[in-house]
Each structure stands twice: as structure tokens, then as C-alpha cells.
Amino acid sequence: MKKEEHSCCGVVEEAAYKARERSEARRSKPQPWIVLKLTVFITLGIMGYTAYVYIHRFVVPMIKGTNAALGSLGAGVSLIIVFALLWMWMVAAYFRVIITSPGRAKDYVPETAEPPPLYPPAPSPGANPNINLPPNAYFPTSAEPKEEPSERIGGPSYEQQQQQHQNGTAPLPRLSTTTDPARMSVPASSQTARDSIAPHDETKKLSMVSDTTPMPSPTIPLSLPSPTEPSSIASPTLPPASVPPPGFPRSKREAKEMERAIHIARRPPPIPFLREEQRYCTRCRIVKPYRAHHCRACGTCILRYDHHCPWIGQCVGAQNYKFFFNFCESTWVFTTYTFATLVSFVATHGDVDIDPQIIVIIALSALFMCFTAAMVIAHTRQIMMGQTTVELMYIRGMKERENAMMARVFGLWEVGAKGRTRDRWDAEWGSLDREGNLWWQGSAWKEWTSVMGESWIGWIFPIGRGGEDGLHYEPNPRFDPEGRWPFLSFLRWHETWPWPLDEGLVGPLVDTGCKLISSGGAGYDFLDVDYLTRHGVYYANTAVSAAVRTADSTAALILQVMRAGSEHEMNVREGKFLDRSLRAKDVRRSTLGIIGMGNIGKLVRDHMQHFGMKVIYSNRRRLLPEEEKGAEYVSFNEILTRADVLSINCPLTKDTRHLLDKEAFAKMRGGIIVVNTSRGPVIDEQALVDALESGKVLRAALDVYENEPEVHPGLIKSRKTTLSPHCAVLNETIFEDQQTEIMANLEAFIKTGKPNTPVNEPVFSEAV
């Protein structure tokens, strides 16, 4: 009995498998020609029938003057002339769009072997019920197709990618969850954090912890003792901020909203859309060009695939998109004219028997008038936003997921809170339609002309060609080289940097009981630390992760400028090749002077001592003997006169602003090299330019500037300068390590009431 039941189940399973196999085989083949083109004949029939009824049943009686006429001879002649012109415009546009190929990728891209999968396949189909696998993934068979379906991770369609993210089954990139001990070996004592150099604040990812924030353990107190006296840390005088930074609360109400929404955030899918593994089509056996997509109805990959349109019997793609839009325009105008004239004449001649076929044409013209009007409006927006229909649906899916997240946090009536939350996400990430669009070119005009061409005549009539070939597209520079949309607040904030976070901006946080602000960066010249200290709020930075990378970049700049690397490179680019008058300084016979011996200064010392440099330093306090490690402590004036290379690693405060001014440069020994990776305003740039021109300063290497992002013209013009765009801290792991350090600060605060790397710890006021 069991054997019979097993046999019966086997028959059912085999039948189901064969049905799925047949379905998969049908999906892998294009539709029959008659099925693809049937609607074309129907469309031509509707056009012909409309012309017959309008001319023969509506206009001809006017010209003949019969009793069934709805107008005069003159009206009939005028109507038929305009109708004929519009009808020919529509028919010409239709024929142009149906005879123009959308652009088949196989005609331009050779077949290639399938690249290895980007991510390993799931261990079993039963692990996730949302995964749609082909039939041969469930049952082995000798008749398995050689091609794999497009559902595999190596080459999914845009719709499949969208469905994966809606179901939460999209693969995630594998990031390292460990931190390199070598990069995190800098001691994070309070005094070291206090004396740390002024580093770079490329990311301002603020983590707020308040008394009302839910915590893992209810037994851990979060209230902190109020400081008995304000911190004496030197904070620069900050100008009042008229506009808060993106994503920062502007009122107590908004701070409360942010606290409620702390567990939801914009999370773009981390799919590398531009990688070949992601673009490979297993059916066409090609690496699809950018924006190409496989159409199941046509059975091939289409360049800049928009959608498959049954009305034209083929896809709308790169090479016929313009004519499709021309057809929609002409049909909209034609049907509007037909509907308006028929309705107006029928309404004004109610005493005449109306031909039923005229009523049919009125209904058809009204239907297609509304349809084509919606198409023109929708595609005008899509063209100007640089989106195809598939890409629009993908972005719309992200918006719907965000709406669902906000619906779980805010009530149906809290429309304003939802809007402000989305505005904060837009401020941090950028707009989904622009910064979140992989193919946004920066302006609606560029997008429009790339599709419709630059001739306004071609915008209306089906002549000429569009402005793109469907093969070459420049990705949005907001995305990384593999097509992922990274966290953009750093990039957006630097467009108008610095953002002074003074009492007017952090006040709403303090009012809600916030006790800790943790930032991804080491510098704090943008923040009113004294205000936070007076109100019992810790500010913690990520000095450790920033220090390691900034020190590496500083050492690299020192070596490059000592070797006259930039000048040699310019000579090679200008065709001069070797200039023997440029002599490199001997590293082993040179003295490095470090101003600011905090975390970064100590690491720079260690790096350069390995190259045999003698190191002297000037600091607000002398280090303990075991901390100096061979470096000699000297006064500020002495370091100016003794150093061959001067590395600036001190924080920006009111005391260090223009620390190196005209007077300081005058005290320096001739031929000195200046390197600055701390803060631009520490150096008076005009005084530096004068010193370079006079020869007092041999060369300078700068990563920071006084009025970022603007750079002094004299520094740009000089051949003696090595310039980089405030990027010393940036590398491929900085954000991961900063997040780790931020979370470590939060964890330490929860457990002990104090973060690991506080800037305004009360003991600072006692030490100073």
C-alpha cells in the first residue's frame, strides 16, 4: 500500500514537474509573429474606421448639403483639411515606430561565456519560499536545458530584482565584520582623545542617545551627573546657523519624531548593477549593455528597454523611443480634435438624427484621448527624469517600501511627520528620483535632448533620430563604480561645509534629554562643545579610525613632497621628462617637526622614524617619557627654526587659527617643507603663497584648505604644491570602522555612563 501511494505521489510530482518544464520552455521562446503583430492590425483598422466614419459619415454630408448634415459646406471643408493633416501625422508616426527596431543588443554585443556567479547560490530551494527556481532545480532530468533561466542571481531582470527586494530575498554584499587590530591599535585614553589632532570629518553620522531611548538592559542607568564646571576645551566662536544641516532636527517636535523613527531608515539595495555578473543574460548569452533588458515577448535583449508595447507589436527601446513618443503626441492631438469636433457639432444639432457610428467614434476617441494624454504626461516626466518605465517601477517600489515602514511608526493622520521623515532621508541620501537614479545626468534638459534630440521639430514630428545609441551611458557619479548607491550625507554636507552645530541646532536634542552625540569623524571645530558640556551632554568622536588613515596619508604626502613627486609628474605630462635640477631631500638626514602630538602625530612619528627621520614635536603639554619614543619636545619657535619638514596635526581652535602666519613663516629656516592634514585655517594661505614665491618654503603638501571647497589661486598656480581634496581619511573601510567605533561608544555609554573617546569629558577641565 505504501509503495502504491509513493508511486501515485511520484506520478503527481512528475506531472507537475513536466508542466513547469513546459511553462519554462514557453517563457524562453519569443511569442509567435501573429500574436506579436495582431494588435498592430487592430490599431490600423481603428485608424481606418475612424477616418471612414469622420469623413464619409460626418463631413461628406456637410459638403453635399444633405438633410443629415451637421454643419455647413465651409465647416465641412475646414474640418476635413485639419482632420486629414492630423490623421496623416498620426499614421506617419505610427508607421515610423512599428518599422524602427528598438535596438537588439545581440546585434552589437558578441556572445560570451557566462561569468562566475557574483554570490553563491542558496543551499536548497526550500530554504526560502520566495525564491522562484526553474523546474530543473527541483528534479534531475536528462533533458535539462543547457541555459539557465534569468531568475539566477547572475543575470536577473529588473522586475525580478525589484521583487527580490520587496520580498527581502536580495543578496547582500559580504562585508568584513572584524576590525584589523593594526588599524585600531591606537590607545583611546581620555587624555589622548583630548589632545588628538584635528582630523577630517568626512562623515557626520550622528547617533543620539536620550533618557527616553529604549535600551537593552533596564538596570543600566543613563542619567549622567551634571558637570560641576564647564570644560575649558578651546572651541572656536561659531556663527549662528540659519539653516540646520540635512537630517538634523530643527525643533523639539522634530527631535521627538526622529526618536520615534529611529528604527526605520532608507536602505537602498546593495546590488552592484554595473558588474558583468549582474548584467549577463543566460538566454542571449551576452553581457547586456547598460540599461538593456531581456524581453520575453520578443525573445531578445533590448537596448534601453522601456516596455513591450502590444500596440506597436514590439518593444520600446533606445532606437524607437523618440518615435513612440511622437506617436503618443500625434494620437493625443488627433483624438482630442476628433472628440471635440464631433461632440460640439452633435450637441448643437440635436434635431438631426445622429449616425450611430459617429457615437462609436466619439467613444473611441474619448477613450484613446485619455489614454494617450496619460502616456504623454507620464513619458514626458520619465524622459526629463532620465528613467525608463522599468527603472521608474524600481524606484516606485522603494518609495512604497518606505511608505510601509513609516506607516508602522506614524499614524494615518500624521502626514506632516511622514513628510519630514522623508525630507530628512532625502537630505541624507538625496532624492530617489535624482541622486537615487543610476542614470540621472544632472539636468532635465540633458535627459530630454538625449532621447528626443536637440531639434524642436523632431520633438513633434517623426523625423530625424534621437540623441542616443543605446550603448553608451554615463552612470550617476553618486553611485560607486559597481552601481551601488552609497550613503551620501558626507558628499552633500561638504557642498556647503562647514555646518556649525551651535546652541540653535543642538538645543532641541538637549531639551529632549539627549546625553550623548557620537559622530563619525575626529575633529570637533564644527560643534559648540562648551554648550554640550554645560548641559551634561557627551560628544564622542571616532578619533581612532580617523587617526590611522590620516597618519598614513600624511606620511605618504611627506615622502611625495620630499621627492618632488608632483613636479616630476607635471614635467612628464608636459613632455619635459627628467628635470635634474629637482633634487629630492634625503629622508634619513632630515628632521621632521610635528605640531600637535595626539593620535595622528604619534602615528606619523612612528611611520617616519621607520624611514630614519629625526623627530621633534611641539605640543600643549609634553608627553610622558615612555610616550615620546625618541621624539624630542621643543617649543613652538624652536620647531620652526629646526625642522626640515613641518607636519601640522593640531586641532583647529581659536588659538590655532592662523597658527602659521606671516610672522611664523619668517622664523622658519629656508627651504622648509610644510605638510597640513589637520584643518585649513591653521595656515594663513596668503602667507604660505608668499613664502613659496620667495623660496622660504621649498614645497607644500595640503589636504585641507582655509575656505573649502575653494582653493587659493596661488596654491593652484604654484608648481611647488601637492594638493588633495580633504580626502586623507578616506579609504574603502573607513565607514565600516567608523560605524564600529560609534557603536562601541554607544555600548560603553550604556554600560558605564561614559563613551570610549569623549571629547568633552569633565576631567579635561581639571587637566587643563
Catalytic choice (679, 685, 699, 712): 679
Mention every residue, 6+ apart, whose C-beta is less than 8 A from residue 515: 209, 210, 211, 222, 223, 224, 536, 537, 538, 749
- Residue 679 annotated among the catalytic residues of the structure: yes
SS (H, E, C) 288-328: CCCCCEEECCCCEEECCCCEEECCCCEEECCCCHHHHHHHH
Joined together, the cell numbers standing for residue 470 give: 543605446
- Residue 165 annotated among the catalytic residues of the structure: no
Joined together, the cell numbers standing for residue 575 give: 613632455
What are the start-end ranges of the H helices in 453-502? 456-460, 489-494
| Count of beta carbons in the 10 Å neighbourhood of residue 750 | 18
The sign one gets for the Cα dihedral 206, 211, 214, 217 is positive
Nearest to 366 by CA among 344, 340, 348, 347: 340
SS (H, E, C) 608-674: HHHCCCEEEEECCCCCCHHHHCCCEECCHHHHHHHCCEEEECCCCCCCCCCCECHHHHHHCCCCEEE
Distance from C-alpha of 386 to C-alpha of 445, rounded to nearest angstrom: 10
Rounded to the nearest angstrom, the gap between the alpha carbon of residue 764 and the centroid of all alpha carbons in its chain is 40
- Residue 708 annotated among the catalytic residues of the structure: yes
Which residues in 537-546 are b (16+ Cβ under 10 Å) and which e?
bbbbbbbbbb
Q: Cα angle vertex 293, ends 292, 297, to 5°? A: 135
Distance from C-alpha of 694 to C-alpha of 722, rounded to nearest angstrom: 18
Nearest to 361 by CA among 344, 348, 343: 343
Catalytic choice (114, 503, 708, 736): 708
Distance from C-alpha of 125 to C-alpha of 131, rounded to nearest angstrom: 7
Residue in the block written with cell 557619479? 477
Rg for the chain (alpha carbons), in Å? 35
Mention every residue, 6+ apart, whose C-beta is less than 8 A from residue 260: 409, 410
Q: Would you please indicate which residues are annotated as catalytic (active-site) residues? A: 679, 708, 726
